[in-house]
Amino acid sequence: MQPRLPRPARAVLDTFAKCDFADWLCLQQHWSEQSTTDRGLVVRWLVAVGVLLASVLVVLYNSRRRRRRLPLVVLLSCPSAETVASGAGKTTLFWRLWKGQLPRYAPVPSQQPNEAVVTLDDGVRFLLVDLPSDARARGTWGRFTSLDKLNAAAVVVVYVVDAKTDSLTREAEYLFRDIDVRALLQRGTTCVVLANKADLRTAMPAKVFLARWMREVERLGHSRTNSLTPVLVDESTIAQIPSLRREQRLMLVHGSAKTGDCLPKLYTVIRSAVRHR
């Protein structure tokens, strides 16, 4: 025995069973054939459905607004010269910071940003955004890195670089010329260069990476000022991060997103930047 539908539902289904949805004259004729009681029930039923849908839309809208008001932590990497993503490990880092685990699927090139709200153990919350490395998707970057298009700028930008790369020329040029890291630093954004994949045998040690990075910075015409010389975040300097001056907001973290050994350093940097924004 099939369940009996309410009268408003029966009236609506009966009308649409006899008329095409786009046939306004047919709908109007069958509507006029309904009794006054049935028409009143249908109107009240449709109003209730409309109120429910409107409530859901309001909740979704407010939720999205609250997300946008959270401090932004943006993950970037240099686009590959090939047709695939650079493979610097940005997606793996996104999952590590968000879920504390490796991705559930093999990372693939994306045309849209990945977003997640992250809450640390001490209650610090931020919106983590993984921007696609594909150069064709650069149009989506501006709304995360421009003060003109956001109520609040990104408080932290993590620039992921493969530590086993043979040359840092393209990576340095992209950060200084395309991303304009100097403008980010001047507006108070904390910028972190993550030398990722440090767990591999072919990866450069931290001090070697730093020396080669500064060589590329000088080649681009920048001097070794405090603002452009990265602070190497390690066991001896991690406690000093909250007390760093504003002009010393460029940092270098050497580690691996895959093993997770870089996460404590990144969490310390992010926590300090969010609290002092």
Separation between Cα atoms, residue 134 and residue 82, nearest integer Å: 10
pLDDT at res. 104: 73
Q: How far apart are CA 62 and CA 176, in angstroms?
A: 36
**CB under 8 Å to 119, separation ≥6 — which residues?**
125
Higher pLDDT, 26 or 198: 198
Q: Which amino acid is at 233?
A: V
- Give the pLDDT confidence score for residue 180 in this predicted structure: 82
pLDDT in tens, 4-18: 555 555 656 565 566
Full-model pTM: 0.71
pLDDT at 209: 92
Least confident of 108-122, 189-203, 223-237: 223-237
Q: Lowest-confidence range among 74-83, 205-214, 215-224?
A: 74-83
| pLDDT above 60 (res 47) | yes
Alpha carbon 45 to its chain centroid, in Å, reads 40
**Tens digits of per-residue pLDDT, 79-90?**
765 544 447 888
Q: Which amino acid is at 12?
A: V
| pLDDT one-digit tens code per residue, 58-74 | 776 665 555 567 888 98
* pLDDT value of residue 185: 83
What DSSP assignment string belongs to the chain? Answer: -PPPPPHHHHHHHHHHHHS-TT-HHHHHHHHHHS-HHHHHHHHHHHHHHHHHHHHHHHHHHHHHHHHHHSPEEEEEEPPPSSSS---SSHHHHHHHHHHSS--SS-----SS-EEEEEE-TTS-EEEEEE----GGGGGGTHHHH-TTSSSS-EEEEEEEEETT-S--HHHHHIIIIIS-HHHHHHTT-EEEEEEE-TTSTTSPPHHHHHHHHHHHHHHTT----TTTS-EEESTTTGGGGGG--TT--EEEEE--TTTTTTHHHHHHHHHHHHHT-
Query: pLDDT (tens digit, 9 = 90+) per residue, 156-197?
Result: 999 999 998 777 888 898 888 888 888 888 888 889 999 999
Name the pLDDT band for 45 (thresholds 50, 70, 90): confident
Q: Residue 146: its pLDDT value, please?
A: 44
Tokens standing for residue 136: 């064709």
- Domains, the chain, in order of start with CATH, read 7-66 (no CATH), 70-275 (3.40.50.300)
What pLDDT sits at residue 255? 93
Provide mean pLDDT across the span 121-139: 76
Structure confidence at residue 195 (pLDDT) = 93
Residue pair 249/190 in contact (Cβ under 8 Å)? The answer is yes
pLDDT interval class at 253 (50, 70, 90): very high
CB 86 within 8 A of CB 158: no
Please tell me the predicted confidence (pLDDT) of residue 13.
59
**Residues present in the chain in total:** 277
What is the pLDDT at residue 232?
84
C-beta atoms surrounding 198 within 10 Å: 22
